[in-house]
Structure 1
Amino acid sequence: MITGPQARALPETLAGMGAGEMARRVIYCDEVGSTQDTLMRRADGEPDGAVLVAGRQLCGRGRMGRSWASPPGTLTFSVLLRPDIPPDMSGIAMLGAAVSLYDTIREYIPGARLEWPNDIMADGKLAGIVLDSSVADVLEWVVVGVGVNVANDPREVAEELTSDGSFGGSDSVHLHAAEASAYDILAGFLARLYSYHSSMGRDAHHVISAYQKRCWNVGRQIRRGDVLGTAQGIDRDGALLVETEAGMRRVLF
């Protein structure tokens, strides 16, 4: 999705589009197996805020190890963060990323919604997020992986990518807003994520509150496994708080 000569000058392009501090260390690869796995392998040698963007991703994955196919027209990238938060609160980074992506896409698609924990939806799924972390005595880093179906028309994607569920984008940004480019989405996301990242350690409640205000599920009935009830809010680690007949339950992502 981000390819060609402009991709070679990606840091400068993003900086010029208002991406801010997170445009300082942007790595572009024509092709990778997975942006997430590649950046995780490089994490010890990369600074806080490093971004890895792929022109083409061959073996993407979503939450819980699910396969995520990335046909042409998909924006795929990962971001390395070193937040000053306890290990049991690493999920806060997921919430900050989800809000950042949702607010960016909502600029172009006002009717988009954020579904817990990390899916951006319109008529179908537009984007998703995955998070991995490294924990020793402290939280060393988290890597946030993002996949956005910018330009693929799900009706035209090869059947083999949709029949097995590996193509996560059942909707497309361009079906709603043809003017939105992958560069617009990436720059907007990075600028917003930097703002949340810089406040995670000192004001986690701000991140949680921002997510909770946007989360479509809050106030609605939800079923996850054996939990059935009404979603009431978000806990400090990103868990969904669900009021059931037996009392309040926590649902982890």
Structure 2
Amino acid sequence: MNKHLLKRLEQKEYVSGETLAKELNVSRTSIWKYIKSFEQKGYIFESKKNKGYRLIFRPDIPIAEEILPYIKTSIIGKKFYHFPSLPSTNSHAKELLKKDISEGCVIVTEEQMNGRGRKNRKWFSPKGGLWFSVILYPDIPPQKAMYVTMAASIAISIALKEICNINPEIKWPNDILLDGKKICGILTELDAEMDKINYSIIGIGLNVNNGIPSALNHSATSLKKFTGNEVSRVLLLRSILLHFDKIYQYIVCKDLDFIQKSWLSYANIIGKEICVHGEKETIKGRVSDIDENGCLFLSTNKGITHIVAGDIEYI
């Protein structure tokens, strides 16, 4: 019920407690309690005798009540959790998976105390950013799991253009850049058998209004720093989840070609000269293509090399 209370009160006119109680099928006491709970989160309501309530200030907090009533999705967002702080949203997702959790569950936190990226690298996740995970059960072979990451990166890129009017670039395999600096990272973790993915957790860390440590200024940025303005995390998360849900339908329908073509339009990697830093060696070459699993074909002085994993650097 309270998911729709904010949307009802965002109008300029006052709405009486009696009207709200009838519309939402609860008692007037419940309405009062819900309003008090929102006030504790920083919302400000104006109330007048014989008139009712109206919302006059809403903080930029990506809670379920700010997200779900404003987007229509088929899968993503059917369950939504918001926390003031977590060690890691991906780790919390794994705890939820010990229960019977529905596909599309979203876990959001204001800060991560132990945020991490690929290869267990620490991910700086203070207040002001968007730190969240989505639980999915993609019915595709494990070797095509990269397409879930691709779908997420496309959705984020579309949302950044839609909300901030900026043109990001996807960097293989899981980063999103603005003018060569990292704005977002995606950590996809999965449990799989030989021919089946049991679950996929898509962890997303997006620098929005948070500060960037001075040691990372050469390689990372935030939307606030890049645009010069505060960016609404609420509007951004609404857009990301809405577009992620739409693009994920292509995975549900097994139309992976669409995702690959869309991803390439944002990645712009074909023909680029790169260095690939692997665990044992560094390989230089020109990207000639990507395969059906999202891996790279690299043209080197020794021939064509197939790149499944690694960190890339543009030359």
Where on the TM-score scale, by shorter chain, does this alignment land: which range? 0.7 to 0.9
- CA distance, structure 2, for counterparts of residue 32 and residue 146 of structure 1: 14
Identical columns (%): 24
What code does the residue aligned with 1:191 have? L
- The equivalences for 1:75-86 within 5 A come to 75-86=130-141
The answer to whether the 8 A contact 2:62-2:234 is kept is no
**Contact 2:160-2:167 within 8 A present in 1 as well:** no
Higher RCO by CA contacts (8 Å cutoff, separation 6 or greater): 1
CA deviation after TM superposition for structure 1 residue 8, in Å: 8.2
Which one of 128, 144, 149 corresponds to residue 89 of structure 1?
144
* Equivalent residues, number: 243
Tell whether 2:266 aligns with 1:214.
yes
Shift in Å, 1:59: 0.3
For the pair 1:185 / 2:236, whether they are aligned, the reply is yes
After superposition, residues 38-117 of structure 1 pair within 5 angstroms as 38-44=92-98, 45-107=100-162, 108-117=164-173
CA RMSD of aligned residues (A): 2.4
Counterpart CA distance in 1 for 2:42 and 2:142 is 39
Counterpart among 155, 168, 178 of residue 122 in structure 1:
178
Q: 1:102 and 1:169, CA in 2 relative to 1: closer, same or farther beyond 3 A?
A: farther
Tell me by how many angstroms 1:252 deviates: 2.1
Question: Aligned AA for 2:207?
Answer: N
Q: Give the match for residue 224 of structure 2.
A: 174
2:65 is matched with 12
Gaps of 5+ in 2: 1-40, 44-58, 310-315
Alignment-mate amino acid for residue 223 of structure 2 = V
Unaligned 5+ runs, structure 1: none
Distance 1:102 1:30, change over 3 A: same
Q: TM-score, normalised by structure 1?
A: 0.87
Partner of 2:251: 200
Larger radius of gyration: 2
**SS of corresponding position for 2:286:** strand
Q: Which amino acid aligns with 2:237?
A: L
TM-score by length of 2: 0.71
Q: Say which is worse superposed, 88-97 or 229-238, in terms of deviation.
A: 229-238
| Alpha-carbon separation, structure 1, partners of 2:220 and 2:110 | 21
CA distance in 1, matches of 2:231, 2:210: 13
> Which of 11, 18, 30 is equivalent to 2:84?
30
Corresponding residue for residue 5 of structure 2? none
Amino acid aligned to 1:185: L
